[in-house]
Each structure stands twice: as structure tokens, then as C-alpha cells.
Chain A
């Protein structure tokens, strides 16, 4: 499935804003997340088709992406949290073992209250990946069955992968 075919398949499925964000500026840092009315926005210029959505829509869209026959995104291979100082971006890399197309979904989260729905009930692998993001980035996944620290000890203070994190004892900035 080519990028264009995937794009048109998605447009039939979820509300998408017409104008795509273009060029290399189309990263998580651009002030624009999803469109104001909550419609998804496609990003051009990347290797794979990238779709920006409003964080509140994620669990609904995730279910659609997983269960729509022509798409069947059954394999979530990478979950990343990015701290942009003013906001967070959650990046989900999805692919299908049937159709082999790749889709990147990005959701913008508020910096003071980074909250997004869990998808661990859709893709089991998300359970560990989301725990990792919570542990290192401090993003809360609502509905996660077991949201605890994963690498750090239970009484650890702070979120090590955030940009403003300072630890004078365990220095990780070289």
C-alpha cells in the first residue's frame, strides 16, 4: 500500500483537515497540533505517512486503525514520548503484518498535565512501552492496568527524560 493509498483510506475513516502541514518544519515542535476542530492533520516530508491527532481522540482512532479490515494495524512497534518544553508529543509507530504499510500517529499533550488514553488493551505491547514512557517522561496513561515505575525505583523523584530534569548525583548529561 503506498502512502497516497493509505492517506485516502484514512480520509474515508476519520475526519481529516484538508491542508496538510508540509516540509521539514512538520515536526512535533510546530505550534499546530491537530486542527482546531479536532480533525486529524497529515504531515508531509517524512519517510512514512504521519498523522497528527487530538489526544482525546486517540483511543477511538486506535480502535479504528486496529480493526478496520483494509488497514488492520496490528503491530505497534515503537512508542515514544518527546518533551518539547512547551508541550509533549506522543509518537506511535504502527504497521500491519497483513498489508505492511506504516503509519506514524502523533498526539500533542499539555505540559502541565500530560494525559492520554492507554492503548494497552488494543496492542498488548503498549503495556510495557507506556510504563516506560510514564517512568522516564511522566506521561499519565488513563486506563493502564499497571502504571508503575519500570526502570527507576518506586521512590524515585522526577522524570529523567524531561528536558528540565537535573540530578546532581546521578549525572546523565555528559
Chain B
């Protein structure tokens, strides 16, 4: 963990955490300035997995570039693909068949569940509870199996394409999803019994890493990170896409602003996602799963921006087109990047052990930050 130690004149110690450290969940390098055990400053060093995806996309066609985006936030790959497909569809002005819209929302919510499950397991592991990790992965495996059957992949699905989805649902899809919902309804209560009420867990989480609503907005935090501070920011509610405006679900808000509030938001979001899936699984319309589009896509000259809500927050795709087959410039606004920028502010004044809990509740995925 500690690569080098240095003491400054003011009696402060500089500690390097990462880029290979279990609690950073990827290649994140933090340079922490400590006084005793108290954090004075956290400075993230990024770029260990920077692949310059934005530049890469400038030479990829509008069908190809979507596949690269699965490699950014690999836990929300469906939702990343979704944002890109939406942006291209805005440019092409394609209207999607109802079936495609419902399939997309179903897949998004399953992805959100899988992502939150992994977060829950990893979060508990970060603060010292190893058992939840195995519980979470057991249920997440069920979602991965469903994905594998329909999309042919378990992690980088590449299932959303401009105009709809790549292939129709597998005949087993409905039954397996229903089985999963039935299973997970009881398991999520088990999650709460196992971790949420645990005294040790709560003492690690409550009152730690406070972020005020004003700071959350100023730092551009989105997703459960901002909702834990009481900021309404769910793109599914504020700028509904696909059929989210027709669905019954609530945006969980907590006002604590601490790690436990962010934890509760995600736990409540899992229940909301379950309810969305339940509303849709028996009502998948018949029809085409893809609108007819040309083999080679050309976007008209102009600018297109799409926003979606991933498991981590607001994800934006900004395409500037010059009318060709490839984007002139593409920009990905990743939620993790902005959420990470608040880490220094959140961690100052807390103990070094708390940093792990704070990072856990930010739910960082490093390839999403580095891009």
C-alpha cells in the first residue's frame, strides 16, 4: 500500500495509495497528505488507463464507436451504449419501435441492478465485511446469465445499436427475469438484514464524508452521490428518454450527505429498478426490435447531445458532426470524473480509514474516469 513516505516541514506525511490498491477498484492513484491520521489533502492522479477514447472515436463510424463505449464504465455498458445510440438517433431523427424502447429500458434497469449489486458487495468488503461480496455476486451472476442469453456477452454487451437493439430477446428472457425478480425481492431484504442495520457498518458510514447539497452541485456530482445530499438530478425524471415518463418510479433522496445517505440511496434505487422491471416485463409490445436504418450512417452537419442516467450518475454524449461518416469531435461526459473531483473536499478532516468508505460510496469505475 505504501510505496514511499515523505514528511514535509509542517510535520505532514505524504502517502501514496494505488495505483494498485484493492480499495481503489482499479488503477487510481491517490497522493494523500496526512497529519497524524487526519487527511489534509487528497490528490487524485489519473491516466493509468487513459486510452483516448474520444480521439479513437473520431476515426470510427457511427455504428462502430458505440462498441468502444462499453469499455468506459464497464458496469453500465448497456447504459453507455444507450446514450450513444440516442445521440446518433437524434441526428438521424429515427423513431424507435415501441418494443425496442421497452427492451432498452429493461436492459438499462437490469444493468443498474447488477452494477449496484457489485457496488454493495465491494462497498461492504472495503469496510471489512467479506461475506456480502459473495451474496452480491451470487445474485449478479443471475443477471449476467440473462444478459449472456440475449446479448451474447456478460460484461461488454454492445446490444444497443442506432435504431433499436441488436437482436430480439431470447425466448427464455421473460421467464428468467421473473424468476430473478422473485429471487431478488427476498435477497434484497437479506442484504438489509446483513449489512444496513449492522452497528459496526453504520459507525463506519454515519457522519463520514459529508457533502452539502451546494457543494454537490458545484462539483458537478450526479447520481446517488448527489442524491445522498438531497439534490434532485435523476435524468430519467428531469429529461425523460425512451419511456421513462410513462413509468411509475420515484427518485430516492436522502438529506444526510454522508456515506450512509449515499448507501441508502443506492439500496432504494435497487428496489425502484425492480419495480420498473416488474411494470414492463409482462408488457413488452410485439413488433420490430429495430427501426430501419441505412447500412452506412451519416449524421447531418450540426451538434447533438444526449443525457442518460447510468448507475453512477449523468452520462452525456456530445457529437459534433461535419456531415461525414465519422464524428468530427465527440465528448463523453462521464459521471465518475465529476464525482471524483469532490473526493478531496469530502475527505478532508476525516481519518485515513474513512477514505476507503468515502471512495466506496462514490462507486468509482476508473476506466469511466480516464476514458
- On A, residues with C-beta under 8 Å from B are 24-25, 27-29, 45-48, 74-78, 80, 82-83, 91, 93, 97, 100, 123-125, 127-129, 132, 136, 149-153, 160-161, 172-174
Contact: B333 with A77, CB < 8 Å? Answer: yes
Interface range, B side: 35 or more
Question: Closest A-chain residue to B214, C-beta based?
Answer: A74
Residue B292 at the chain A interface, CB threshold 8 Å: no
Contact: A24 with B341, CB < 8 Å? Answer: no
Binary flags per residue of B42-82, CB closer than 8 Å to A gives 1, else 0? 00001100111011101110000000000000000000000
**Which residues of B are found within 8 Å of A27, using beta-carbon distances?**
301-303, 320
12 further contact pairs, Cβ within 8 A, besides A77-B222, A93-B305, A174-B60: A77-B333, A78-B318, A78-B331, A80-B331, A82-B329, A100-B238, A124-B218, A124-B342, A151-B47, A151-B50, A161-B52, A161-B54
B residues 298-353 near A (Cβ < 8 Å) are 300-305, 314, 316, 318, 320, 322, 328-329, 331, 333, 337-338, 340-342, 345
**Which residues of A are found within 8 Å of B359, using beta-carbon distances?**
none
> In whole angstroms, what is the CA distance A127 to B215 when docked?
14
**Which residues of A are found within 8 Å of B341, using beta-carbon distances?**
124-125, 127-128
> In whole angstroms, what is the CA distance A161 to B330 when docked?
10
Question: Closest A-chain residue to B337, C-beta based?
Answer: A128
**Which residues of B are found within 8 Å of A127, using beta-carbon distances?**
341
Known: A75-B217, A100-B238. A125 touches B338 (CB 8 A): yes
Select B217's contact among A28, A97, A136, beta carbons within 8 Å: A97
Residue B370 at the chain A interface, CB threshold 8 Å: yes
Question: Closest A-chain residue to B339, C-beta based?
Answer: A125
Question: Closest B-chain residue to A66, C-beta based?
Answer: B218
Nearest 9 interchain pairs by C-beta? A125-B220, A151-B47, A151-B50, A128-B341, A124-B218, A80-B331, A78-B333, A172-B55, A24-B302
> In whole angstroms, what is the CA distance A64 to B52 when docked?
35
Known: A28-B320, A124-B341. A77 touches B60 (CB 8 A): no
Known: A27-B302, A97-B232, A173-B59. A152 touches B50 (CB 8 A): yes
Contact: A77 with B215, CB < 8 Å? Answer: no
**Which residues of B are found within 8 Å of A149, using beta-carbon distances?**
47
Residue from A24, A27, A74, A75 whose CB has the most chain B CB atoms within 10 Å: A75
| Residue contacts A-B, CB under 8 angstroms, 14 given | A24-B301, A25-B301, A27-B302, A74-B217, A75-B220, A76-B220, A77-B222, A91-B318, A93-B316, A128-B337, A149-B47, A150-B46, A151-B46, A160-B55
